A and B are shown apart, each in its own frame.
Chain A
Amino acid sequence: MNKKLYGLAALFKTPDEIIEVAKKTSAAGYQKYDIHSPYPVHGIERAMKLKPSKLGFITLVFGLTGSALALLLMYWTMSVDYPMIIGGKPFFALPAFIPITFEVTVLLATLATVIGMITFFFRFPENDHPLHDTDYMKKVSCDHYGLVIEAKDKLFDEAKVLEFLNSLKPESIEEIYYPEKETYPVLEPKFVTFLIIIAVVTSGITYFALNKLLYMQPFTWMMEQPKLNPQKPSTLFADGFGMRTPVQGTVARGFLPYPYMGQNNPTEFLQNPYLPTKENLQLGEQKYLTFCSPCHGNFGDGDSRLRGQFPNPPSLHSTRAREFSDGMIYHIITNGQNIMPSYASQVTREERWAIVNYIRVLQRAKNAKSSDLQVVNKETGNNASN
Chain B
Amino acid sequence: MHIDYSQEAPAIAGRLTISQIEELVARPLDTKPDRKYFIALSISGSLLLLGAICLGISFYYGIGLWGNNQPVGWAVPIVNFVFWVGIGHAGTLISAILFLLRQKWRTGIARFAEAMTIFAVICAGIFPIIHTGRPWLAGYLIPYPNQHSLWVNFTSPLLWDVFAVSTYFTVSLVFWYIGLIPDFATLRDRTTSKLKKTIYSIFSLGWRHSSRHWQHYEKAYMLLAGFATPLVLSVHTIVSFDFAVSILPGWHTTIFPPYFVAGAIFSGFAMVVTVLVFVRKIFNLENIITLDHLEKMNKVILATGMMVGYAYGMEFFIAWYSGVQAEQFVFINRAFGPYAWAYWIMVSCNVIFPQLFWFRKFRRSIPVMFVIVILVNVGMWFERFVITVTSLHRDFLPSSWAYYKPTFFDMGILLGSFGLFFTLVILFTKSLPVVSISEVKAVADGAQPTHRGGHHE
Contacts and interface: CB of A to CB of B under 8 A. Distances in A.
Interface in B153-188: 153-157, 159-160, 163-164, 167, 170-171, 174-175, 178, 182, 185-186, 188
Interface in A37-82: 37-48, 50, 53, 55-56, 59, 73-74, 77-78, 81-82
Q: Which one of B144, B188, B213, B216 has the greatest number of beta carbons of chain A within 10 Å?
A: B216
Nearest to B153: A86
Q: Is the interface of B mostly helix, strand, loop or mixed?
A: helix
Contacts of B451: 16, 19, 43
A93 interface: yes
Contacts of A99: 157, 160, 163-164, 234, 238, 241
A106 B154 contact: no
Given A109-B227, A132-B206, A137-B208, A39 B215 contact: no
Contacts, number: 220
A16 B452 CA distance: 8
Contacts of B211: 22, 34-37, 40-41, 44-45, 48, 50
B113 to A, nearest CB: 19
B220 interface: yes
B224 interface: yes
Nearest to A139: B189
A2 B218 CA distance: 39
A182 interface: no
Interface stretch (A115-123, A166-174, A273-281, A358-366): A115-123
Interface stretch (A156-164, A183-191, A216-224, A303-311): A216-224
Given A73-B143, A106-B231, A142-B18, A93 B155 contact: yes
Interface in A104-119: 104, 106-107, 109-111, 113-114, 117-118
A44 B211 CA distance: 7
A184 to B, nearest CB: 15
A124 B449 contact: no
Nearest to B453: A16
Interface residues of B, number: 80
B155 A96 contact: yes
Interface stretch (A207-215, A252-260, A348-356): A207-215
Given A74-B154, A99-B164, A103-B167, A37 B214 contact: yes
Contacts of A126: 205-206
A372 interface: no
Contacts of B223: 55-56, 59, 109, 113
Interface string B47-64: 000000000000000000
Q: Is the interface of A mostly helix, strand, loop or mixed?
A: helix
A73 B455 CA distance: 56
Contacts of B219: 53, 55-56
A100 B147 contact: no
Q: Which one of A20, A111, A124 has the greatest number of beta carbons of chain B within 10 Å?
A: A124
A12 B227 CA distance: 37
Interface residues on A, range: 35 or more
A214 B456 CA distance: 62
Contact of B147 (A96, A110, A114, A215): A215
Nearest to B154: A74
Nearest to B444: A39
B151 interface: yes
Contacts of B175: 110
B209 A216 contact: no
Given A53-B219, A213-B137, 11 more contacts: A22-B211, A38-B186, A39-B441, A107-B171, A110-B224, A111-B174, A122-B205, A126-B205, A214-B139, A217-B147, A224-B147
8 contacts: A38-B441, A45-B211, A55-B223, A86-B153, A100-B159, A106-B227, A113-B220, A217-B147
Closest CB pairs A-B (n = 10): A141-B189, A39-B442, A126-B206, A96-B155, A143-B18, A77-B151, A124-B205, A35-B211, A53-B219, A40-B214
Interface of B: 17-19, 22, 136-137, 139-140, 143-151, 153-157, 159-160, 163-164, 167, 170-171, 174-175, 178, 182, 185-186, 188-190, 201-202, 204-220, 223-224, 227, 230-231, 234, 238, 241, 437-439, 441-442, 446-452, 455-457
